[in-house]
Amino acid sequence: MRITHQVTLMLLLVTWYGSTRCLGITVDPPEHLVISDPGHLGHLQIRWSPPASLMNNTECSKLYQLEYFDTNTNSWDAIRTPRTEYSAQFDLMKDVSVRVYTVLNGPCTNGTMIKSRDYAALVQKPSSTGVKGTAVRDFVCVYYNRQHLKCKWGENPKMSAKSRQNLYFWHKGLEKADECPKYLISNGVRSGCDFTGKALPEFSEINFCVNGSSPEGPLMTTFISLQILNHVKPETTTKVNLQTGPGKRLEIQWESPAGNIPVHCLEWEVEHEQDGPDGKIATQITTKEMSLTLTFDRDDRRNCFRVRSKLHKYCANKSLWSEWSRPTCHPEKKEAAPEPGWDVVAISVCIAVAIIAIMVLSLCVWAVRISRREKKPDSLLTLLFARPSALQFTSEGLKRPKNLQDSQTQPLSNV
């Protein structure tokens, strides 16, 4: 289509040039061509004035053919307008090139459309401010399940650890650029922006700008323009069912994940992993349906499936694949219940030792308390290993028989 458009422009140019020579009429190009930046991060205003030679001409209608270089496609885009201004999107990190012709048509040209041979042209160079090599890297935006947008970027190795990045964005619904509502922090440094809860247009361009400052000076500015609908990542599919059918068939079915993505906008990829004589064999199958039927040769070979999705080309120019679902397999792998082993025995032994230790400790404490009550220097071992007949248990504690006490207190001379 673009080649056809360029050929048409060439034929019109040849026709207008021939008509001009035959009629002997010349048309001057526009004047005072100006490019202005209203702060919309790449959406620029282009203005010009009619040629002075046509200021008093009321017999013919004046049109202007504006051509500007699109750095994304590396080609010239052209529009015709009766106005003397136009706005277009540009990459501010590259040259901005525009040129404007005057197109005249009416009684003054005998009804022939004539285009000026010359044109007004202007080339605007990108800004050179910022420390070289400090622009952020790998700017990526993901529109999760068409619900919330997150944009992230990577640091440049030449960037100072004390650098501070700022993100600004603009779209046609905003009068001026706005700053990131919530920054993402990684290792104490801004590494992205979370737009959750922020209303953003899906079908028009959004301009992003990442700049910042550092102890060495300002960071180089990065400009990005994109449509978030082309960056949708669907939710992971969670419900996948697998059953066998007649004739050794495997029927796999799945459900669309919940969210704002219409089912008809999704395409699916099914990964089939099968055990083979030389190991596992994996194949991918793309489908727009939400079911798939395959045949299997042997019952003893395991077949596993997992599913992921993305927006197909009828709903978006490009999209991101979702994460894979959990594998669903046939036959299912049965896990045997673990048998009691040495671990159970070791735990039982530890419990028994702990109980015995608690009993011994309690006995020791009890013996110490008795020793303190009698206020005698009898050793703990004497009390513990005394003859049973020599000890009596009463409500007041452990006591010796009275006859035993008297016999022990008699002088040696009476024995």
pLDDT, tens only, 38-73: 999 999 999 999 999 888 877 788 899 999 999 888
pLDDT at 389: 46
Radius of gyration of the chain (CA): 44
pLDDT at 373: 61
Task: State how beta strands 137-144 and 232-233 pair.
Answer: parallel
Are the CB atoms for 130 and 218 separated by under 8 Å?
A: yes
Mean pLDDT of the region 74-99: 94
Are the CB atoms for 367 and 383 separated by under 8 Å?
A: yes
Rounded-to-integer distance, Cα 31 and Cα 45, Å: 16
Beta strand ranges found along 215-278 (DSSP E): 217-218, 222-226, 232-233, 240-245, 249-254, 266-276
Q: How many CB atoms lie within 10 A of CB 261?
A: 22
Rounded-to-integer distance, Cα 17 and Cα 414, Å: 156
Q: Quick one: which of 48, 19, 23, 189 has its CA closest to 120?
A: 48
pLDDT per position as a tens digit, 341-370: 556 667 777 787 788 878 777 777 767 677
Q: How many CB atoms lie within 10 A of CB 302?
A: 16
Task: State how beta strands 291-295 and 392-394 pair.
Answer: unpaired
pLDDT at 372: 63
Rounded-to-integer distance, Cα 387 and Cα 216, Å: 91
224 to each of 94, 214, 221, 370, 398, how far by Cα in Å? 12, 21, 10, 86, 92
Are the CB atoms for 33 and 46 separated by under 8 Å?
A: yes
pLDDT per position as a tens digit, 168-219: 999 999 999 999 999 999 888 899 999 999 999 999 999 999 999 888 889 8
